Amino acid sequence: MRFLLAAILFISAVVVFTLIAKVVYQGSVETEFERQAAAALKSGGFESVLVDFDHHEATLSGLVDSEQDVETARDIVQKAVPVARLPEIEISQIAIRPTIPPELRVESSSNGELIKVSGVLGDDGEGVRALLGARLLSIAGGTVENDITFNAKRLPLAVATEFAAVTAELIRHSATAAVSFSEESLTLSGTVPNDGIKEGILELASMLKVEQISDEISVVDPKSFLRKSTLTLTRNRFGITLGGIQAAAGDGVKVPAILMEASRGLVINDRRTVSEDRVAGIWESHIKTTLPSLIEHLRGEMTIEFGEEQIRITGVTESRENREEILAAIQPILTESPDIEILADLTLANPSESSGPASSLSITYVEGLLTLEGIVDDDTFVSDLEVAMEPVVSDLLVKNSLEVMADAAPSRWIENLAVFLSEAIPRVEEGKFHFSDSEIRLEGTTKKITDKAILQNVAINSVPSGYTVENQLIHPDEPFPTPELLPEARAKLAESLKQFPVYFDSNSEIVNESGREKVKAIAELLKEAGADVELVATGFADNVGNAEYNRQLSLRRAGAVIEALASLEVPKESFTTESRGEDVSGLSRSERWKARRVEISLAGGTETDNNNTE
């Protein structure tokens, strides 16, 4: 028994001694590995890289200047301690030392409808990217193209909030604007309506504490931001009624006097209104010559509308010559402002008494055969058309079934017919194109979904001004139009949306986990509705603190929810944003969280006061 006890004690002592020796030995080996590796790294110029050994596993940490330096540091350790096992570069704890300042550029065009954000930030710049996107979206309400990239060499952007503030303020007041931040310099360009706004923007810019601010902001006449005057003239058996909005600065053009001179004894009822936010429209500088010509060549009841972007004329003319006179009378307005759209719905008083039959042309294309039918005054254009189409469509056969009548009205659309067909035929599987005195109608099947829109533009540019284009082209893969919601379904959807307000943390515009769940629920409701609807994202904030800051915060919150819904395939173009303040003076601090929310509702529902302060 004594012998057995002695044997057990001996074996135990040997085991304990072996373990202690192993630990001491391993610790001394790891220390030696670390010493050798550190000495090699210092000799190689990598004093900032630290090495920690766990037996033969080496962990490298610290900062280097490039990806190549990561590889070099690993090689140095490997050569100094050949038995060391090193991690892959992708999981190495060595980081790139940021040394290059960040760069950002924001460009706004078309009154903020499109904003482009670009630049390079450090690896920690995702928050800056999200902040800018949400802030700019809430300001513009349009499209924000956020193309910021990330690079480990870039330093953090310490003034992200200040940069977002100055950018948003400039874009808010300028139709086109650009903000560039690079190498401790800030460049601002754009147009603002007065010196006070400019000074406010520059004051915000000074908060960035950059070495240089390049001020390229120009102050323009505030009138350029105002809407243009409009005029509507309707004639019936009781006389002429004038409508529209004129500038408050005074009626520089005496429209009633022009009408009285053009037609004596005319009864004129002037119902125009005056507005402070209107300036003279382009049409006003030509109205003295244009209006008498329109009155002369239009008979009976008529309507003439001079809008901001469109001129519409509806009435009856005696002849095609009168129609040409009317279009010629408004040509000076188009010359000065080519973007104005002309809609001339003019009919002949006595088509049968015209000099000849109206010309028309129907072109049918099926499997390489082009058939021309209709009435024209001259068909010599067909041979020219065949020559023009040869390089576009090989082996094209043209069948001329036109009826030539010398007294037919001239075909004004023939001049650009070859241009139109050169674009149209390669884009359709089969098609029929009908040209009449005032309309071009497109029918058939396109090869691509986008061809319908392309041919719409080609048709508009191929026919004379005043023509209408009826586009009935289709494509097999073109989705059917989404039906509108019935009143009952709309009311049900509106009530359902009220159940999912998205709440935010104090002074935050980030959608939290609870908010993301509600966003998912909202997206599901909209998908189940199965219809395109116009939506309003209303951001709420309490009335504690600075009202303008609260207003901006509520808009940014609305923008954040829109972005979250867009990631779930809810179109951003479906939304408008609004802000509302909420009085929390009667609530305890523990209940004020209820005011920090965003509500999604259907447009056209309950009124929302967009000018309410927070």
Q: Which long-range contacts (CB under 8 A, 24 or more apart) does 585-594 make?
A: 585/543, 592/542, 592/544, 593/503, 593/506, 594/503
With a cut of 70, say whether residue 434 has pLDDT above it. Answer: yes
Domain annotation covers residue 158: yes
Q: Which of 287-301, 308-322, 338-352 is predicted with the least confidence, judged by mean pLDDT?
A: 338-352
pLDDT band of 19, cuts 50, 70, 90: very low
pLDDT band of 179, cuts 50, 70, 90: confident
Q: Which of 474, 501, 521 is the last residue of a domain?
A: 474
Q: Please state the length of the chain.
A: 614
- 236 and 342 within one domain: yes
User: What tens digit of pLDDT does each residue of 309-328 get?
Assistant: 788 888 888 777 787 888 88
With a cut of 60, say whether residue 250 has pLDDT above it. Answer: no
Domain annotation covers residue 553: yes
Give the C-alpha separation, 332 to 340, whole Å.
11
pLDDT band of 373, cuts 50, 70, 90: very high
- At residue 12, the pLDDT reads 63
Q: Which of 96, 111, 144 is the last residue of a domain?
A: 96
> Whose structure tokens read 């359902």?
496
The residue segments making up the domain with residue 448 are 360-474
Domain annotation covers residue 453: yes
- 372 and 347 within one domain: no
Give the C-alpha separation, 50 to 62, whole Å.
6
Are the C-beta atoms of residues 268 and 240 closer than 8 Å to each other?
A: yes
With a cut of 50, say whether residue 365 has pLDDT above it. Answer: yes
With a cut of 60, say whether residue 244 has pLDDT above it. Answer: yes
With a cut of 80, say whether residue 165 has pLDDT above it. Answer: yes
Integer-rounded Cα radius of gyration of the chain: 37
pTM of this structure: 0.34
- 52 and 152 within one domain: no
With a cut of 80, say whether residue 543 has pLDDT above it. Answer: no
As a whole-number percent, the residues of the chain with pLDDT over 70 amount to: 82
The mean pLDDT of 467-487, rounded to a whole number, is 73
- At residue 482, the pLDDT reads 58
CATH of the domain at 32: 1.10.287
* Cα angle 182, 186, 187; round to 5: 110
CATH of the domain at 536: 3.30.1330.60
- 379 and 340 within one domain: no
- 64 and 167 within one domain: no
- At residue 593, the pLDDT reads 79
With a cut of 70, say whether residue 112 has pLDDT above it. Answer: no
- 136 and 71 within one domain: no
Query: Letter for the amino acid at 361?
Result: L
The mean pLDDT of 292-315, rounded to a whole number, is 84
Q: What is the mean pLDDT of the chain?
A: 78
Domain annotation covers residue 432: yes
- 232 and 348 within one domain: yes
Give the C-alpha separation, 599 to 540, whole Å.
8
> Whose structure tokens read 């069948």?
399
Domain annotation covers residue 479: no
- At residue 49, the pLDDT reads 78
Work out how many domains the chain is built from and give that number. 5
Q: Which of 218-232, 390-404, 443-457, 573-587 is predicted with the least confidence, judged by mean pLDDT?
A: 218-232
Q: Which of 96, 131, 164 is the last residue of a domain?
A: 96
- 500 and 470 within one domain: no
Instruction: Specify which residues 575 forms β-bridges with.
Output: 535
CATH of the domain at 179: 3.40.1520.20
* Cα angle 48, 49, 55; round to 5: 145
Q: Which long-range contacts (CB under 8 A, 24 or more apart) does 310-313 make?
A: 310/340, 310/341, 310/342, 310/343, 311/283, 311/340, 311/341, 311/342, 311/343, 312/343, 312/344, 312/345, 313/342, 313/343, 313/344, 313/345, 313/346
- 172 and 131 within one domain: yes
Measured between its terminal Cα atoms, the distance across the chain in Å is: 91
- At residue 610, the pLDDT reads 38
pLDDT band of 561, cuts 50, 70, 90: very high
Domain annotation covers residue 481: no
Domain annotation covers residue 334: yes
Instruction: Specify which residues 62 forms β-bridges with.
Output: 94
- 592 and 526 within one domain: yes
Q: Which long-range contacts (CB under 8 A, 24 or more apart) does 261-268 make?
A: 261/292, 262/291, 262/292, 262/295, 262/296, 263/295, 266/239, 266/240, 267/238, 267/239, 267/240, 268/239, 268/240, 268/241, 268/242
Are the C-beta atoms of residues 327 and 465 closer than 8 Å to each other?
A: yes
Question: For residue 518, which of 598, 582, 595 has the smallest C-alpha distance?
Answer: 598
* Cα angle 512, 518, 524; round to 5: 140
pLDDT band of 479, cuts 50, 70, 90: low
Give the C-alpha separation, 104 to 155, whole Å.
12
Give the C-alpha separation, 225 to 192, whole Å.
9
With a cut of 70, say whether residue 133 has pLDDT above it. Answer: yes
Question: For residue 84, which of 25, 38, 140 has the smallest C-alpha distance?
Answer: 38
As a whole-number percent, the residues of the chain with pLDDT over 90 amount to: 7
Write the burial class of residue 46 (CB in 10 Å: 0-12 exposed, 13-18 middle, 19+ buried).
buried
3-state secondary structure of 193: coil
Who has greater pLDDT, 29 or 451?
Answer: 451
- 535 and 449 within one domain: no
- 454 and 567 within one domain: no
The mean pLDDT of 545-569, rounded to a whole number, is 86
